[in-house]
Amino acid sequence: MSAVVTAGMPRRSITLGRSIVGRIGLLPALLVALVVGMSAIDPQFYGLINILNILRNASLLAIVACGQALVIVAGGFDLSVGAVVALASVVTAKTMAATAAAFPGNTALIIASGAAAGIGCGLAVGLVNGFCVAKLKVSGFVVTLGTMSATAGVGLMITSGIPAYGMPDSFVKGFGRAQLFGLPTAVYAALAVIAAMMFVQRRTLFGRYVYAIGGNVDAAVVSGVSIQRHIVGTYAVSSVLAALTGILLTAQVGSGQASFGGDRMMLQSIAAAVIGGVSLRGGVGRVEIVAISALFLTILGNALNLLHVDSRLQPVFLGVIMVAAVALDELSRRSKARV
């Protein structure tokens, strides 16, 4: 409303200010408030162990959420990411154990085969998702609902629900639990993924076309964008990133488990994307904000734990914050449209 009153020259600065707020949003402010508040209340919060713990968990969530964000920007959904995390974990561990039995001592080969198998099964699920959505025109919700059930089933089938061991020490101790300059490996992996995704979103044709498809499919078709290939691409990227998370988790824990990821990871990745300003209508969203939102969600969970809030009550906070974030976004969009 104020923009109407102050028409003319000052308007530019106001729209600039508003665009900065719109671009960065409420999220960093909430994040800072949370961190400052928690540091004042509980010194344990800024202890080294707790910070590393937060960073590790936030990194894993951020990697999955980046892929999820890309799919949502293109106007889709990926419900299968949690199941892919589990499947990749199990397949990686089993493959490493099998290769270790066949070629004992050849650590490089063992790790390479395990990682390739994990990423490969992620890619396979992503291609199935993309093919069904893009070529067969089945809604993304239903397709990934189906592959979620199927992928989780395969993961459980391979292991019968028992953790899979037999990975080389250098993979677990030398990679998964290793620290470089005091930070866990997962943090570097997440930073690399976020940087790569930022580059893809801003500087590559693929990234720009994904925005175009999510913003207006018909316009993208008319402009000559090959829709199907790019949609398959988004699902493939999402599943591969989920598989990467599965491998990182496996290396960290030291066993492949079909209980990794799951519905919780899937719902949190969507929550992170949505709170991070990715519109479910498609065409809007940036991975760096999604990563901040993943950090925010992780710190929130951590803070609730430290404050001794009953873990059973914690989902309530997540639910309220998610709805409130999107509702605020929606209301501000409406008031903008009215101006």
Partner 1 sequence: MTTEQSSHKNSFSSEWLWRAVLPIALVVLLLGFAAVDRSVLSPANLLNIAQQTSYLALFAMAQTVVILTRGFDLALGPAVSMVSVGTALAMAGATATGHDPSIVVLAGLGTGFGLGIACGLFNGVVIALLGVSPFVATLGSYNIAIGVATTLSAGRPVQGVPKLFSQLFYGGSIFGIPAAIIITLAIGLALHLMLSRTVFGRSLYIIGTNPRAAAVAGLPVKRILVATYVLCSTLAALGAIMMTARTGSGEPNLGGSLSLQAIAGAVVGGTSLAGGRGGVGTAVLGALFVTILSNGMNLTRIDGYIQMVVLGAIVIIGVLLDRLRLERRR
**296 part of the interface to partner 1, by CB under 8 A:** no
Among 150, 178, 183, 253, binds partner 1 (CB under 8 A): 150
For residue 330, the tally of other CB atoms under 10 A from its CB is 10
β-bridge partners, 183: 180
- 176/285 with CB nearer partner 1: 285
For residue 258, the 8-state DSSP code is T
The residues near 194 (Cβ < 8 Å, ≥ 6 apart) are 62, 66, 287, 288, 291
Which tokens sit at 24?
């960065």
Least distance from partner 1 to the Cβ atom of residue 125, Å: 11
- 39/149 with CB nearer partner 1: 149
**146 part of the interface to partner 1, by CB under 8 A:** yes
**299 part of the interface to partner 1, by CB under 8 A:** no
β-bridge partners, 184: 179
Footprint on residues 59-78 left by partner 1 (CB under 8 A): 77
**101 part of the interface to partner 1, by CB under 8 A:** no
Sign of the alpha-carbon dihedral angle for 87, 89, 92, 98: negative
Query: Which range touches partner 1 (CB under 8 A), out of 113-121, 201-209, 215-223, 266-274?
Result: 266-274
Encoded one letter per residue, x for contact with partner 1 by CB under 8 A and - for no contact, window 126-145 reads ------x---xxxx-xxx-x
**37 part of the interface to partner 1, by CB under 8 A:** no
**173 part of the interface to partner 1, by CB under 8 A:** no
**323 part of the interface to partner 1, by CB under 8 A:** yes
**308 part of the interface to partner 1, by CB under 8 A:** no
| Alpha helices (H) along the chain | 2-5, 10-24, 27-41, 48-73, 81-102, 107-134, 140-159, 169-171, 185-203, 205-215, 217-222, 227-253, 262-275, 287-306, 314-338
